[in-house]
Structures are given as structure tokens and as C-alpha cells.
A and B are shown apart, each in its own frame.
Chain A
Amino acid sequence: MIWKIAKKEFLLNLMTFKFAVGTILSIVLICVFVPILAKAYQERLKVYNENVAYNQRELGKVTVYKNITPTVYKPPPVLAVFSEGLEKQLGNSATIQYDEVPEISGSAANHYLSIFSIFDASLIFKIVISVLALLVAYDAVSGERERGTLRLTLSNTAARYQVLLGKMLAGLMVLIVPITISFILGLIILLFFPMVELTGSDWIRIGFMFLASVVFVAAMYNLGLLFSSLARRSATSLVLGLFLWIIFAVVIPNGSAYLATQVVPVESEDRINEQLVSLQREASREAARELERSGKSFMSGHSERSDAPGGGFGHGYVRSGSEAFIHNQQVKYSINVPVEIKYADRYAQVEDGYLRSLFEQTRLAGNISRASPITLYENVMSALAGTDMVSFRQFIDVVREYRKDIIEYIRSRTDNFTSLSFFTPCTKEELKTRPKGDTAEPLELSDLPRFVYQPDIVSTLGRVVPDLAFLMLGNVLFFALAFVAFLRYDVR
């Protein structure tokens, strides 16, 4: 019986004007959006490749260990086509330096583009198809009552739960049609672009994206069903549904962030800067103490030097210098660099404290906005696309590990920062005699640790599951409420 009702509803809905318009619109939008988004991805990938190549080139020019300051970049995720998330808002690069721990930061790209809102393919699902779900659902019960067909159906042996379940199934089947078409079409267009390569884990992510889209749209449909079984007139259920939709789509996502900034205001950066300044002073005092403890001393005398440019990453290097200068440099680096490395961690602690207060605010905003299924869906999609906050934090964590590797590498190569090769490629003899204009050979860095960043699918799914569960819970809840309302529905 359920099946019969579902089939009838399904066929009826397929023939409706709203279904045709909604499906055609989403197909047209996919055909317009995806090529544009893929092109944008291509541009980003080009810039990324340029930057990586530049780094590789510069690494080949490094003449002294001090100059190993490569910048690493987060590869642009191809699935950002489906969900942009924070991709354009957060910085996607970090420079490795021994005296600074990389931090998550705002994007350095064009601030002025923030006058435009986010644009990705999931807009089609979260706006167009969710509206379509409401439109399909709003007259499912109240419309049939108005037309008088509900009475006829129930005069049969069909139980009420069967009727509602049938309607739910039918709605789901109807809505899966545009979702599936949009996904398949989008992927085909995407794969047309030569730069796009989807790996196995990408396909798993896409699979989950599809699942999330279906669950989300089903939630919106069940909501519409609830309103339809609450109201006597279909116009009323439509108006109710649309009001709630605008609250979900517009008011909650914007209002929650707005509210969070009021409830948990972030402190100004100034206090952090004060703390950093005092830490810097402490660092220089500690360096002086270390110097005393080590028993080394600075040599007096002429401190003449001459630097040569082109030591990699825009730094120069010492090409010649008086004996006193070289000795003093050596002492300075062997004492200061370990202290600076130690203090870099302490600066990072202070900054992490500040960032934690930002995350606190963001988390609150996120939790408030979970009241809207649209935000839940957004969260799931951006986590799957690898464009959410956590992905960026994981990237920075990997970069920090990499920085440690690099420091360890330099330490082992330069005898704990004491050897000459830390700041000059020349031997003691050469430093005195080296003629002007002579350039040094670059360092042999083939065993330098490589930077590898691979987004982890297991942790992604770990983030996705709670929000997805919430969405499913919403489905069950809305349907249960619709069921209760329908049981008491006066079909006359």
C-alpha cells in the first residue's frame, strides 16, 4: 500500500510545473556554475604551482643554512568547487623560519573581495533544491484536503501512517532526481577540465556529499510535510514553510555570527603585542645569560664585512669579513639561535592563546547556527571539501612539524648552529681572500625533508558524522511531528 501511494505521488509530482522549473533551474545553474568554479580552481592551482616552483628554485640557490626559509603552500582542494568554506578567507601558506612558529592567519589576498558572499555549487542544493523541497511538500496533505482527494484515499483501507510514509518516500524519490542529475552533470563538467584529478579519497568525499545533500533535502521536505499536516489551507503551509526557510537560510547563519561577536567579544590584538614585546626583552636577557654561561666572548677589533646577494629566498650571505667579525658572528649565532628557537615556541603560546579566544567565538557562532539545517549541511560540505577551519588547523600543525624537521636538519648540519656554514659558504681562508664578484656554490640539500600535506579522510569523516547525525535526527523529528499532526488531521 505504501508503495502504491508513493508511486502515485511520485508520478504526480514529476508532472508538476514546480518540479520542472526547479529541476531545469538547477541544471542550468550547474552548467553555469561548475565551469566557472573549475576555471577559478585552475587559476588557483596555477598560482599554487608557480609559488611551489619558485620555492624549489630558490631552494636550489641557498648557499648558507641560515637562508633555508621556504614557504609552504596548502594545495587548493578541488572539491572547493562544491563547498568553498573558508578557503578564500584563511591564509594558505606559511613560511618556515627558525625564529617564528607558523600560525593560522587571515588570507593575505584581496580584502576588497569580501563584499561578495560565498559562491560554490552547494548554493544550488542549499538554496534552490531546499526551496524546491518545501514547494513539493507544502500541499502534500493540505492540498489534497482542499481538492478532496485525501478523504477518498482514507476511505480506503490505507492506514494514515501508510499514507504519510508513502508521501515521504515519494518526496524523497522526486527530490533525488534533481540532486542526482546535478551531481552527475557537475562531475562530468568538472572532469572535462584537464587539471582536475580526483583521487579515491575524493570519490569517497563526493559520495558523502551526495548522501549529505539527500539527507539535508529530505529534512527540508519533512519540514514542509510537517507544516502541510499542521495547516488546513495549503497557502498557509506554504507561507509558514517559507518563513521558516528564510529564517534558516538568511537569519540564522548571519545572526548567529553576529550574536557570537556580541556574547564573546574578542580582545584587541594590542594586549598580545604587549606580551610579545616583553617576551622579546626576556629573550635578549636570556641570550646574554647564555653567553655568560658558555664562557665565549666577543672579540674586539674592526668588524668589516661584505655581503653577497643571491643566497636564496631573497637573503644575502657573508662573503668576506675581518677575523673579529667572523668570530663574533659565530658566537652570536651559536648562542642566539637556540634561544630564539626556544622563544619562538613561547611567542607561539601567547598567540595561540589569542587564537583560542577567536576559535571560542567561532565555535559559539557555529553551535548557535546548528539550529538551522542549512548551516549543518554547510558544515558537512565544507568539512568534506577540506575547506573548513579544522582542515586549515591541521595544515598548520603539519607545517609546524615540518619546521621542527627543518630546524633539526639545520642543527645537525651546522653542529648546533656553531659552524661557519650557517651564515657563510666560505672557509676561514676564503673569507680573507675571496675576490669581489665571485659567487658561491649552492648547498647540497637533496636530503632536506620534503613537505607533504595529505588531508586525512578518517578525521574528516569524524567531523562529518556528528553534523550528519544531527541532520538525520532532524529528519526523524520533523517526520515524527508530521506524523502526530497528521494522525489528528481533520480530513474534511
Chain B
Amino acid sequence: MIRQIIHKEILENLLSFRFVLSLVLIILLFAVSGFVFVGKYKQRSSDYWEKTNENLAGLSEQSSRLYKLAFYEQSVWRKPKPLSLCCEGFEKTLPNCFTFDVFSADLPEIKGRSNFTLSRFSSIDWVFIVSMILSFLALVFTYDSLSGEKQDGTLRQILANTIPRHQVLLGKYLGVVITIGIPMFLGLLVSLIIVVASNAAVLSGLDWLKILAIILLSFLYLSVFILLGMFVSSRTSQPANSMVILLLLWVVFVILIPSFGRIISEISGKAPDPAQLERKLAEISTEIWSNTERFGERAGNASGNLSWPGNNPPARARLRNASANAHNKARQDYHNKMLAQAFTGRNLTCISPTVIYQRASEIVAGTGINRIVSLHRQIKEYQAVLRQYILSKDAEDPLSLHLLFPEEYLVGAWRAISHNPVDFDTVPKFREQDIGLTKSLGLAVWDIGLLVLFNLVFFAATFVSFLRYDVR
């Protein structure tokens, strides 16, 4: 019996005007997303490799003298990911360039081809299409699923049969899921065919698994809206009224709440201000340089000539390192504050399934703000590795003073760190590590759980409400 209802629902939907419209719109959007991804990915990859090779070439030049390695300012760029096809995670407005040497790292920046004058817009990736357009269509398909049939009088006839109500409900639910699934599936296929055929990005086996995970997430997300639509439909007696309520709910959940995040984090009054950071850094410098004697005698004086009696290399090194550490700490605090602001905003807006879905997909695809955080952490680790490498190589040189501190001129002139060449192959190089599928699913488990919870709540609500529905 339930199969018959599903069958009827699908046929009815497929023949409807809204289905044709949504099919065209969705396939068009997915095709656009595929084409644009291909163009952008090629461009970004070539930019990325150019910058990365430039950086490596610079690093290899420095390996002729060990101490130079420490002072070389490396720029690591964010590597374009094939999975940004599914979920770009607002990466174009997030920092893409990390500049650092062994001692300190600048705050991550946005560089390269980006147009800051363009007003903020979402990339048309899969997640965008699903979260904005398909969720809307889910409501368009369900707003009259119960109240519409009641109005037409067909619901009475169905229930006059021997079929129990829960089967009707389940049949309708599955019917809509499949109807929504058809344009989505076709769209995904079109988009994937464009990407695979263009040969722009190579999708590995793991990537395919992740794509599958994102598709499953999308179904979970759309199912929330389908159930919401059916719930509201079962609470109202007129389809027009259920459409009104659903539209306004959609606006609140999909548009208003997700944009709430920013303002919530701004009114907290703890917004970090770049001008304040500058002032703080200047204060630290003044404080350290006016109390140089704290680090040892004559720490404030230095001359490139090591034999000058005014020099006190260990004190100088302590002073410089202390200054760099204090600056690093101030910058790190500032950066943490910025991140905390963004994460607070996001966590507080998690009452919207759209935010949850976006976040979960970002984690699975390995893009978005979490990736920036992980990149930043990896760079910190890499700095430590490189520093360790320089120190261990330096220990082999008896001529060196074994003092590593951020003042290139003095380190070079004093031979505070060895001047010997090193084999470039042994120099550690930065390589971004992706999070594995199991780990990322582990991170996304909360979000998946929340989406499932939304589904269960709405399903239960629909069920109860339909059991008491007056079909006359």
C-alpha cells in the first residue's frame, strides 16, 4: 500500500508545473557551478603552484648559509581543493596567505586576485544550491501535501481505504524525498560530469567518499525542510496559509538566523581592533627597549664587530627573543580573539539547520574556517620543526655562538648561527595535512546528530499532528 502512495505522489509531482520549473532551475545552477568551478580551479591551481615554487626557490637559495634559513620570510598559500566544488566554505573572503619566518608569523592575510570592493556574495557551490534553493523547493513541494489534498477532498477518500495514517504520512514523505532527489541527483551528475570531463581536478577515492558523505548530509538537511513543510501543512486547513507560515519560517531559518552571527559577536564589545593591536605592539617595544638592562648588561648596545667591548651577545639574544615572544603573544591573542568571535557567532546561530549543514559540509570537505585554523596551527608546528632543524645543524658547527635570535644583521656578523651550507633536501618543508575522512566525520558527528534530531522532532510532530488531523 505504501508503495502505491509513493508511486502516486511521485507521479503527481513529476507532472506538476513546479517540478518542471525546479528541474530547469536546479540543473542550470549545478551546471553553472560546475563550469565556474573548473575555470576558477585551474586559475587558482596555477597561481598556487607559481607562488609555492617561488617560495621553495627562495628557501633553497637560503640553504647556502644555515642562518639565512631562519630569516627567510616564507609565504604559504592556501592550496585550492577539488572539494570546494561541493563546499567552498567562504574561502574567497578568508585569509589565503600565511607569511612567517622562524621567529614570528604575521596575521593571515588575503592576497592575490581578490576584489575587496565587490559586495559579499556566496559562491554557487553545491552547499549553496542545496541550502538556499533546494530547501526552498522542499517547502514548495510540501506546503499543500496534506492541506491541499484535504481541500481537494482526496485525503478523505484515501483514508476511507484500509490504509493507516502513518503509512499515508510515510508514503508522502518518501514521495517528496524522491521528487526532490531527482533534480538534485541530475544536477549533481551534470556538475560532476563537467568537472571530470574537463580534467581540471583529479578526484581521489577519498574525495569520492567525501562527496558521498556530503550528498547524504544534503539529504538529511532537505529532509528537515520536507518534514517541516508536512508538519505545517498538517497544522493548517488551507494550503495558502501553510505557504505563508512556511515562507516566513524559511526566511527566518535560512536567511535571518545565519546572518545573525556577525552582529552577535560584534555587540559583545570585545571585538578586536587592529589599531589597538598596533598600539599594543608599540607599547611592548617601548617597554622592552626602555628596560634593556633586565636582559643582561649592555643588552641595548650592539655593534656588528664582535670584538667591540660594548657587545654582550647572550644578553642581546635574550632581549631580541623576549621582544619577539611578546609580540608573538600579542598577535596570537589578537588572532585567537578574532577566531573566538567568529566561532561564537557560528555556535550561537546553530539553531538554524542551514548553519549546521554548512558547518558539517565544510568539515567533511576540509574547507572553510576550520581549515584556516588548522593551517595556522600546522604553520606554528612547522616553525618549531624548522627551528629545531636549524639548532641541531648549528650544534655541529664549532665556530658558531649557538645563539638564535631575530636580528639578521647581528646573527650574520657575529656568526651567532653557523654560516655553513646545508643540503636543501634535508631542510624541512611545509606541507599541508588534510584531515582524514574518519576524523572529519568524528568532528561533524555533533552536526549530524543535530540534523538527525531536527528530523526526528519534526517527524514526531508531523505524526502526532496528522493523527489528530481533521480530514473533512
Contacts and interface: CB of A to CB of B under 8 A. Distances in A.
A is bound by B: yes
Do most interface residues of chain A lie in helix, strand or loop, or is the interface mixed? helix
Contacts of A250: 132-133
Given A40-B266, A43-B271, A246-B136, A89 B116 contact: yes
Contact of A111 (B43, B108, B263, B282): B108
Contact of B122 (A243, A254, A262): A254
Nearest to B251: A127
Contacts of B121: 253-254, 256-258
B140 A362 contact: no
B248 A109 contact: no
B369 A51 contact: no
Given A254-B124, A265-B43, A266-B115, A109 B273 contact: yes
Nearest to A363: B117
Contacts of B339: 112
B115 A111 contact: no
Contact of A104 (B114, B117, B342, B346): B117
A128 interface: yes
A329 interface: no
Interface of B: 17-18, 21-22, 25, 29, 32, 36, 39-40, 43, 47, 89-90, 93-95, 108, 110-124, 128, 132-133, 136, 140, 144, 239-241, 243-245, 247-248, 251-252, 255-256, 258-267, 269, 271-275, 279, 282, 286, 289-290, 338-339, 341-342, 345-346, 349, 368-369, 372
A110 B244 contact: no
A230 B273 CA distance: 54
A268 B47 contact: yes
Interface stretch (A7-15, A232-240, A282-290, A404-412): A232-240
A196 to B, nearest CB: 15
B267 A39 contact: yes
Contacts of A389: 117
B346 A257 contact: no
Contacts, number: 206
Interface stretch (A115-123, A198-206, A211-219, A453-461): A115-123
B272 A110 contact: yes
B274 to A, nearest CB: 4
A255 B124 contact: yes
B117 A109 contact: no
Interface in A354-386: 355, 358-359, 361-362, 365
A262 B32 CA distance: 11
A440 interface: no
A246 B119 contact: no
A317 to B, nearest CB: 14
Interface stretch (A16-24, A298-306, A426-434, A468-476): A16-24
5 contacts: A36-B264, A93-B275, A127-B251, A239-B21, A355-B117
A17 B244 contact: yes
B282 A314 contact: yes
A320 B144 CA distance: 86
Contact of B240 (A18, A104, A118): A18
A37 B262 CA distance: 11
